[in-house]
């Protein structure tokens, strides 16, 4: 979705780099924060810290993400026009969604 929202350029590259770095960065920050909280603070602080982080992420997303009127999403090929003959189910590949989620659930069930 990020690749389709942003037009080619430096900003798109930065967004994809940040997205790619979010999993390892989240692992490191989570490990450090949980160990610090476990040794230095009460368990109740975990809820406060989570609320603060969520609030900061909401503020950052409002500031960073482009609005619908200024982004490439206004001319997005998935946009539904009233005269289109192709329905939303086929545009979003509904069968692929069902089969993909079912396959992942069954794979998880088989390994567990």
pLDDT in tens, 70-99: 544 445 555 556 666 666 677 778 888 899
More confident residue, 52 or 92: 52
pLDDT above 50 for 23:
yes
Describe the crossing of helices 10-40 and 45-64 by its angle, rounded to 10 degrees: 170
Helix (H), strand (E) at residue 13? helix 10-40
Backbone angles phi, psi at 2, to 5 degrees: -65, -35
pTM: 0.43
pLDDT above 90 for 21:
yes
> Quick one: average pLDDT of 98-103?
93
Q: What is the pLDDT of residue 5?
A: 81
CB of 33 within 8 A of CB of 50?
no
Spatial distance between the Cα atoms of 20 and 52, rounded to a whole number of angstroms: 23
In sequence order, which residues have a C-beta less than 8 Å from that of residue 4 and are 6 or more positions away? Answer: 72, 73, 76, 78
Per-residue pLDDT band for 62 (boundaries 50, 70, 90) equals: confident
Q: What is the pLDDT of residue 79?
A: 59
């Amino acid at each position: 979705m990020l690749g389709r929202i942003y037009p080619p350029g430096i900003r798109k590259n930065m967004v994809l780099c940040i997205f790619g770095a979010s999993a390892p960065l989240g692992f490191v920050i989570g490990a450090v924060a949980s160990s610090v909280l476990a040794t230095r603070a009460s368990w109740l602080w975990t809820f406060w810290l989570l609320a603060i982080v969520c609030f900061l992420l909401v503020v950052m997303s409002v500031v960073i993400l482009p609005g619908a009127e200024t982004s490439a999403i206004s001319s997005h090929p998935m946009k539904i026009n009233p005269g289109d003959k192709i329905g939303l189910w086929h545009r979003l590949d509904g069968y692929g969604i069902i089969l993909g989620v079912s396959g992942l659930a069954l794979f998880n069930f088989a390994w567990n």
